[in-house]
């Protein structure tokens, strides 16, 4: 697998830290790749999807994804995105912010302070001393931030994986258990056992989250009404959709849209 060697913005007196700003149009696919450095990937604008062997995350503007060094990942732009990435060498990370949580990929909610710190890193007038402080502050905020519920864990078992891919391809479909089990070549009972064992979510919870992830994509990529998104994804009503959305993300669809516009 290729290691990305894209030139980045660096500072003369700071070794091991760099940043990169990129714009990508909707539909851009950055195939599976890795970096020697760890990276904090932040969409200042737009919605992206980040995929690793463990699963996939929907990353709207209020969230960012942490990717450890040499972790394979792919990025899909689900709308026009303004990407801001902080790269940190493993040696620098170990000296300045050594935390076991940073050994694994995860998504966080970007609070106001972290957002402003990330954007400040791209101010070319910053002195080197300030850059070092900003990077340490960003990583400390990263460790303290709560995990976002935009992760779709992908099962490794071939039977459960087939079901997962089918549900993701058609999240609005009814997907009766008996039909899914038959397509997977297993029994309904086995299938309902596989999902909690492989993903820590029941099949019902996993399917519900797949619909909410599809809703995030729709809400983030345009300006549809909550009612139209609910209908498109097969919810019985806008109220039922709002309830399910709040259960997963801790906010209503309307609150999500408002926060997106405020970023």
pLDDT at 237: 92
* Cα–Cα distance, 6 to 117 (Å, whole number): 23
Q: What is the mean pLDDT of the chain?
A: 85
138 and 169 housed in the same domain: no
CA–CA gap between residue 28 and residue 48 (Å, rounded)? 10
Residue 260: its pLDDT value, please? 58
| Percent of residues, the chain, with pLDDT higher than 90 | 33
What is the Cα 198 distance to its own chain's centre?
19
Query: Residue 231: which CATH number?
Result: 1.10.10.60
4 within domain boundaries: no
Are residues 94 and 186 part of one domain?
no
Q: Is 231 domain-assigned?
A: yes
Q: Is 137 found in the same domain as 26?
A: yes
Instruction: Assess if residue 3 is contained within a domain.
Output: no
Choose the final residue of a domain: 90, 110, 144: 144
Q: 128 and 19, same structural domain?
A: yes
Structural domain boundaries, residue 38: 9-144
- Looking at the fold, whether 103 and 47 belong to one and the same domain comes out as yes
94 shares its domain with 135? yes
Q: Kindly list the distances between the CA atom of residue 205 and the CA atoms of 88, 118, 135, 196, 244, in Å, as whole numbers in the listed order.
A: 35, 34, 37, 9, 10
Q: Quick check: is 89 in a domain?
A: yes
For residue 20, tell me if it sits in a domain.
yes
Task: Please check whether residue 111 lies inside any domain of the structure.
Answer: yes
* Alpha-carbon gap, residue 80 to 25, rounded angstroms: 4
Given a cut of 80, is residue 129 above it in pLDDT?
A: no
Final residue of a structural domain among 144, 173, 198: 144
Indicate if 23 and 53 belong to the same structural domain: yes
**Using an 8 Å Cβ cutoff, are 191 and 181 in contact?**
yes
As beta bridge partners, residue 55 has: 52, 153
Give backbone dihedrals phi and psi of 154, rounded to 5 degrees, phi first: -100, 125
Least Cα distance to 56 among 229, 206, 172 occurs for 206
Contact 62, 24 (CB under 8 A): no
Over the stretch 217-244, which tens digit does the pLDDT of each residue have?
Answer: 787 666 578 889 999 998 989 999 999 9
pLDDT one-digit tens code per residue, 27-38: 899 999 999 999
In-domain check, residue 195: yes
Q: Same domain for 135 and 85? A: yes
* pLDDT tens figures, 206-215: 998 899 888 8
Same domain for 14 and 107? yes
The number of residues in the chain equals: 263
Percentage of the chain lying above the pLDDT 70 cut: 89
Cα–Cα–Cα angle for 75, 79, 83, nearest 5°? 55
CA 164/CA 97 separation, integer angstroms = 36
- Based on the fold, state whether residues 106 and 124 are members of the same structural domain: yes
Q: Are residues 69 and 104 in the same domain?
A: yes
Q: Is residue 149 part of a domain?
A: no
Helix then strand count (H, E) for the chain reads 10, 11
Mean pLDDT over 165-175 rounds to 89
- Same domain? For 167 and 97 the reply is no
What is the CATH classification number for the domain harbouring 136? 2.60.120.810
Q: pLDDT of 185-194, one tens digit each?
A: 999 999 999 9
Once rounded to an integer, what is the mean pLDDT over residues 71-79? 89
Domain count of the chain? 2
């Amino acid at each position: 697998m290729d290691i990305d060697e894209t030139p980045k913005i660096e500072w003369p007196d700071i070794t091991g830290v760099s940043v990169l700003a990129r714009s990508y149009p909707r539909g851009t696919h950055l195939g599976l790749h890795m970096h020697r450095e760890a990276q904090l990937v932040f969409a200042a604008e737009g919605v992206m999807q980040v995929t690793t062997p463990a699963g996939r995350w929907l990353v709207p503007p209020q969230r960012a994804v942490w990717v450890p060094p040499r972790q394979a990942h792919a990025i899909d732009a689900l709308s026009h995105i303004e990407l801001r990435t902080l790269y940190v060498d493993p040696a620098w990370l170990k000296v300045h912010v050594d935390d076991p949580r940073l050994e694994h990929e995860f998504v966080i909610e970007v609070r106001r302070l972290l957002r402003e710190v990330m954007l400040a890193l791209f101010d070319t007038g910053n002195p080197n001393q300030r850059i070092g402080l900003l990077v340490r502050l960003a990583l400390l905020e990263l460790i303290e931030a709560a995990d976002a519920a935009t992760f779709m864990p992908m099962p490794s078992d071939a039977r459960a994986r087939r079901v997962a891919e089918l549900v993701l391809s058609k999240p609005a479909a009814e997907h009766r258990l008996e039909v899914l089990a038959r397509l997977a070549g297993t029994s309904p009972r086995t299938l309902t056992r596989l999902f909690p064992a492989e993903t820590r979510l029941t099949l019902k919870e996993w399917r519900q989250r797949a619909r909410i992830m599809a809703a995030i994509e729709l809400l983030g990529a345009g300006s549809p009404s909550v009612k139209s998104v609910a209908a498109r994804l097969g919810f019985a009503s806008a109220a039922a959709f709002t309830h399910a959305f709040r259960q997963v993300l801790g906010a209503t669809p309307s609150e999500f849209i408002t926060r997106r516009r405020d970023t």
